[in-house]
């Protein structure tokens, strides 16, 4: 018999404000699987690798998008996060190529150049926040790789993207109550979204006119991509997909980098090991740098300790049995990733930053879940990993980052993501 707390408004508030504390408390009270009522639907929460396996290995048609009513007006009805069934399958098929293989690796030089450019703007000895720096890096990478923008055009789009990100409240994704034009933040968000849509429309038209020998940014790839029947994405579909990539890709990569700087600053022995590896590979090209084992382990360990999306949710389109519990269609299923990442049976001394654990043993896809998993795994996971490793290598090579505060950095909900409350204040010193 599944149990769980009651009163959806209270549970939604707790999920929004403290998921890191909420899920372990609920597991302690109700067991490894429990049911949570929320404003956007009732959800079974899974907190064990065995439960995750039941969910991730189910056929794709078992699931749909969760909370589409509030997500649709924010990211768009064509967003891959709001799509289900055949539209989701078709969307993933077109979106996958730019974020994998040779096409993705071709952006390595751009990522390194952007990181170096932003690091050169730092004022030595002047306090800043790691998150501000990593946001600038991530946004510039998006401008150049996804939108193909530079110069005056980059400045124009940067303003639109920043306005969208600033107006992106977590409340928008949990309920439609705040999606009213009487609220200034929602009104500004819609205005910026409309401006972005106009840029995408004109940009797609230019790239289609140029054809296959034109630009090589992701907007061009998607504008020219064709479904199996020869049809192309509409301007509305392009806008929704690119907005999703902006919100999901910018936030996750910037936060992951900020946490990595935080943990390295608190763990001198790990920083020394990383620098030794980087110095031994000082002339490595971006692709080779991204494959360095200790650098990869540092990024993975940071993602484990601070799971950026701690509770990916999907809707059951069909009944499913999870750990012996028969669940009906229309019910949500949530993976409490952070609970699994903090399980001492899987990760001994779970509160300790120890990248070596990822060199000693590779966790299963049901034990390490920074990007979700199964058929709805984050489509930009490889791109985000690639960018984070290249950017972190440049940051660690160029600067020492001394933490301004001695105490721990608290995580707060930003939208679907969890980020550092203070942004990780640091004092940068050139090496």
pLDDT digits (tens, 9 = 90+) for 217-245: 899 999 998 888 888 988 888 888 888 88
Whether residue 220 lies inside any domain: the answer is yes
| CATH code of the domain in which 355 resides | 1.10.630.10
Tens digits of residue pLDDT in 9-25? 999 889 888 999 999 99
Q: Find the domain containing 160 and state its range.
A: 8-430
In a domain, 127, yes or no: yes
- Identify whether the C-beta of residue 279 lies closer than 8 Å to the C-beta of residue 398: no
pLDDT at position 168: 64
Pairing label, strands 325-327, 313-316 = unpaired
pLDDT in tens, 205-221: 999 998 877 788 899 99
CB 231: neighbour CB atoms within 10 A?
9
Does 101 reside within a domain?
yes
Give the per-residue SS3 of the chain: CCCCCCCHHHHHHHHHHCHHHHHHHHHHHHCCEEEEEECCEEEEEECCHHHHHHHHCCCHHHEECCCHHHHHHHHCCCCCCCCCHHHHHHHHHHHCHHHCHHHHHCCHHHHHHHHHHHHHCCCCCCCEEHHHHHHHHHHHHHHHHCCCCCHHHHHHHHHHHHHHHHCCCCHHHHCCCCCCCCCHHHHHHHHHHHHHHHHHHHHHHHHHHHHHHCCCCHHHHHHHCECCCCCECCHHHHHHHHHHHHHHHHHHHHHHHHHHHHHHHHCHHHHHHHHHHHHHCCCCCHHHHHCCHHHHHHHHHHHHHCCCCCCCEEEECCCEEECCEEECCCCEEEECHHHHHCCCCCCCCCCCCCCCHHHHCCCCCCCCCECECHHHCCCCHHHHHHHHHHHHHHHHHHEEEEECCCCCCCEEECCCCEEECCCCEEEEEEC
pLDDT in the model for residue 250: 80
Taking residue 385's Cβ as centre, other Cβ atoms within 10 Å add up to 20
Instruction: Kindly state whether residue 145 falls inside one of the protein's structural domains.
Output: yes
Per-residue pLDDT at 70: 67
Residue 29 in any domain: the answer is yes
Domains held by the chain: number? 1
pLDDT of res. 176: 72
Which pLDDT does position 14 carry in this prediction? 92
Both structure tokens of 157:
């789009």
Consecutive 10-residue averages of pLDDT for the chain (431 residues): 92 89 96 92 95 95 77 78 80 82 86 97 96 94 87 80 71 69 81 86 90 84 88 88 80 94 98 98 96 98 95 92 95 96 97 98 96 87 94 98 94 85 97 92
What is the pLDDT at residue 82?
A: 76
Q: What is residue 169's predicted lDDT score, i.e. its pLDDT?
A: 65
- Residue 3 domain-assigned (yes or no): no
Residue 2 covered by a domain: no
């Amino acid at each position: 018999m599944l149990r769980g707390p009651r009163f959806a408004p209270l549970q939604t508030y707790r999920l929004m404000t403290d998921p890191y504390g909420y899920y372990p408390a609920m597991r302690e009270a109700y067991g490894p699987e429990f049911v949570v009522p929320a404003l956007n639907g009732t959800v079974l929460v899974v907190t064990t690798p065995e439960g995750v396996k039941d969910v991730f290995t189910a056929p794709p048609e078992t699931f749909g998008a969760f909370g589409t009513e509030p997500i649709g007006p924010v990211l768009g009805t064509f967003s891959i996060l709001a799509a289900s069934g055949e539209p989701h399958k078709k969307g993933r098929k077109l979106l996958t190529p730019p974020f994998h293989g040779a096409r993705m690796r071709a952006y390595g030089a751009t990522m390194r150049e952007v990181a170096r450019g932003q690091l050169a703007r730092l004022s030595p000895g002047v306090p800043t926040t790691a998150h501000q720096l990593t946001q600038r890096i991530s946004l510039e990478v998006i401008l150049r790789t996804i939108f193909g923008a530079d110069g005056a055009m980059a400045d124009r789009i940067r303003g639109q993207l920043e306005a969208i990100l600033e107006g992106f409240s977590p409340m928008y994704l949990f309920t439609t109550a705040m999606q009213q034009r009487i609220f200034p933040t929602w009104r500004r968000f819609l205005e910026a979204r409309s401006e972005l849509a106009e840029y995408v429309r004109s940009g797609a038209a230019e790239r289609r006119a140029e054809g296959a020998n034109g630009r090589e940014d992701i907007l061009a790839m998607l504008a020219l991509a064709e479904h199996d029947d020869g049809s192309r994405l509409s301007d509305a579909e392009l806008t929704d997909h690119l907005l999703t990539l902006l919100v999901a890709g910018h936030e996750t990569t910037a936060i992951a980098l900020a946490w990595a700087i935080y943990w390295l600053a608190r763990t001198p022995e790990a920083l020394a090991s990383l620098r030794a590896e980087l110095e031994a590979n000082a002339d490595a090209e971006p692709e080779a740098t991204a494959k360095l084992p200790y650098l990869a382990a540092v990024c993975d360990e940071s993602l484990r300790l601070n799971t950026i999306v701690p509770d990916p949710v999907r809707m059951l389109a069909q009944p499913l049995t999870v750990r012996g519990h028969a669940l009906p269609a229309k019910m949500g299923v949530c993976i409490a990733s952070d609970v699994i990442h903090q399980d001492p049976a899987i990760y001994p001394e779970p509160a300790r930053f120890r990248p070596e654990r990822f060199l000693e043993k590779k966790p299963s896809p049901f034990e390490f879940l920074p990007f979700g998993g199964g058929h709805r795994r984050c489509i930009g996971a490889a791109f985000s990993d690639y960018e984070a490793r290249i950017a972190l290598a440049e940051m660690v090579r160029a600067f020492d980052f001394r933490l301004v505060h001695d105490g721990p950095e608290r995580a707060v909900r930003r939208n679907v993501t969890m980020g550092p409350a203070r942004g990780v204040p640091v004092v940068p010193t050139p090496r």
